[in-house]
Structure 1
Amino acid sequence: MDYVAGWREATGAVVEQAVSFGTWFGGVRMRPARTFIGEVDEAEASGQVWRDEVRVRPTAELDRDALARLVEVDADPFEVELYERAADPQVLLIDRAQRSRAGQYARHVQRLRERQQRQGS
């Protein structure tokens, strides 16, 4: 029995739903399965999971600041390397771009819903 099949037996339909909508990454379930109404394509569901993860994770600036405080107290070589990676301008730019893209999409979806409600009313 493979890993996913074992989870299906243990948890039933929730795992089936999670697997079918792409919320598994590397064999690890990242968040609870959602209930989708209607037809949802796998790419859209996967994109929504990514956008949710981007919104809830701490910003790269917060990570950098926390690691800086940690390095000030205890300059362990591993912690210094983590700080250097977190302080990399490219990492900060990528984090900002991902957050910006997730926000733009959320506003786009909100505008589409508002437009549908206006047309339906």
Structure 2
Amino acid sequence: MRFTKDHEWVELDGDIATVGITAYAAEQLGDVVFVEVPDAGKSVKAGDGLAVVESVKAASDVYAPISGEVTEGNSALGDAPETVNDQPEKAGWFAKLKVADKAEYEALMDRDAYEAYLATL
């Protein structure tokens, strides 16, 4: 699993990457009440808006940590947005992407680097 400074995570399985937000981000958002996930077929570049999360505190964009084509949006979040809070780094994922460039994944922080980054906030 790799991480961004915007608190997204990405987990690679072959050439398919699963993307979500970290437990830290979910905690900062508060109770998630609505999630908009992307449709399959959407192409994104690293840094593009990928999904939208609305909580009792704010609405936030979730950015694509790497470039690729969406193969699946987590439609289950439409009926159960609280999954983002309950299982942010498991069932609360937002989208799966067919990876365009694995070097983008390798350039992201590993868990130790991300934990060190969180300690500076």
Q: Which has the higher strand share?
A: 2
> TM tier, shorter chain?
under 0.3
Higher relative contact order (CA 8 A, sep 6+): 2
- TM-score with structure 1 length normalisation? 0.23
Greater fraction helix? 1
- Structure 2 length as normaliser, TM-score? 0.23
